[in-house]
Amino acid sequence: MGARIQSVSTDGRAVEQAAACLRAGGLVVFPTETVYGLGADALNPKAVARVFEVKQRPRFDPLIVHIADIEWLRDIAAAFPPAARKLADRFWPGPLTFVLPKTDRVPDLVTAGLPSVAVRMPRHPLALDLIRQVGGPVAAPSANRFGHLSPSTAEDARTEVGEGADMILDGGPCPVGIESTIVSLLDPNPLLLRPGGLPLEDIESVIGPLARARHADERPQSPGRLLRHYAPRTPLSLVSAVPPRADRAGAGLLSPGPVPEAGGFAMVEMLSPALDAAEAAARLFSALRRLDAAGLSRIYALEGPERGLWRAINDRLRRASVRDAPDEIPG
């Protein structure tokens, strides 16, 4: 049966109980503004090991550590370069993760043996409240089985990892809906490791042009960048134009905005009628889950424009479209 969903709006003590559970080494599913996370005390290797088991996540894929107070960085990051400070001043709490050199306090399991740690201060009030009540960093990857779609509702998280979690906090649908943007600050030149919920353009407005990780660069850092990732079970093709009628029978269409002529598809999901990227990101994973549950022969996903939050949406769809190279590491 697994963990029961506890609605924070109707259960006044739910967050307190969840904090106690995490402090005792338990696993708690909780909402952040990006997606639902499966949390564990980041400084408790046994609890962190359970996260890997429940997610069936390979040990080489490190976790993001969530904090509620910038002072906590002292404990877990061995350096906080000026670029990180500028970005944190502007965008924390928010959907931005830094990769920084780690201290000895952070268990190797959390960072998959890397000398660096990924850290984020989430903006979701419930996540912040929970982490503050835990009183220390919470390691939390997305609350899904490895390689699957990230959950943006408590119900989707329960479907994915409910069996293995001790508690599930329901704070409603995630407002951003797509994972955080990851920036490495290990070198003097900041490096974009994963596009995500904070647009690249916003980051560049504060620290100037960002280098992008090429696949070959990414290998030792392994962010959510396995070639095939964030994937539905139904084969998905990323396309730049709506496929011809002959290909539509039995297939579904995922479209960024309105399409002039979409007759013949078995199902159509439109992410945002006004082509608003924030709305589209917030709806992406639930739309993909609906398409995946509809028994379609194929999902055609129409590319969005390569700017702002659409970049992160296109990135997820690109990874979801890789079929024949499961778990392959590029580079």
Which residues of the chain form contacts with ligand AMP (CB under 6 A)? 61-64, 99, 111, 114, 116-118, 141-142, 179, 182, 193, 221-224
CA separation for the pair 58, 240 (Å, rounded): 33
CA separation for the pair 283, 74 (Å, rounded): 36
- Least Å distance, CB 226 to Mg ion, is 10
Nearer to ligand AMP, 6 or 32 (CB): 32
- Least Å distance, CB 295 to Mg ion, is 25
Contacted entry of Mg ion, ligand AMP, none for residue 137, CB cut-off 5 to 8 Å set by kind = none
Which residue lies nearest Mg ion, judged by its C-beta? 142
Contacted entry of Mg ion, ligand AMP, none for residue 95, CB cut-off 5 to 8 Å set by kind = none
Nearer to ligand AMP, 110 or 287 (CB): 110
Contacted entry of ligand AMP, Mg ion, none for residue 247, CB cut-off 5 to 8 Å set by kind = none
Nearer to Mg ion, 142 or 272 (CB): 142
- Least Å distance, CB 278 to ligand AMP, is 19
Query: Which of 159, 96, 140, 146 lies closest to 289 in space, CA to CA?
Result: 159
Nearer to ligand AMP, 136 or 141 (CB): 141
Nearer to ligand AMP, 21 or 99 (CB): 99
- Least Å distance, CB 140 to ligand AMP, is 7
- Least Å distance, CB 300 to ligand AMP, is 25
3-class secondary structure per residue, the chain = CCCCEEECCCCCCHHHHHHHHHHCCCCEEEECCCCEEEEEECCCHHHHHHHHHHHCCCCCCCCEEECCCHHHHHHHECCCCHHHHHHHHHHCCCCEEEEEEECCCCCHHHHCCCCEEEEECCCCHHHHHHHHHHCCCEECCECCCCCCCCCCCHHHHHHHHCCCCCEEEECCCCCCCCCCEEEECCCCCCEEEECCCCCHHHHHHHHCCCEECCHHHHCCCCCCCCCCCCCCCCCEEEECCCCCHHHCCCEEEEECCCCCCCCCCCEEEECCCCCCHHHHHHHHHHHHHHHHCCCCCEEEEECCCCCCHHHHHHHHHHHHHCCCCCCCCCC
CA separation for the pair 150, 45 (Å, rounded): 24
Residue 139 tokens read as: 């390691």
- Least Å distance, CB 213 to ligand AMP, is 9
- Least Å distance, CB 300 to Mg ion, is 24
142 forms part of the interface with Mg ion (CB under 5 A): yes
Nearer to ligand AMP, 149 or 154 (CB): 149
Stretch that binds Mg ion, among 138-146, 208-216, 261-269, 280-288 (CB under 5 A): 138-146
Stretch that binds Mg ion, among 105-113, 135-143, 161-169, 269-277 (CB under 5 A): 135-143
Nearer to Mg ion, 232 or 252 (CB): 232
What mask of x and - would describe binding to Mg ion in positions 5 to 34, judged by CB under 5 A?
A: ------------------------------
- Binding residues for Mg ion, rule: CB under 5 A, are 142
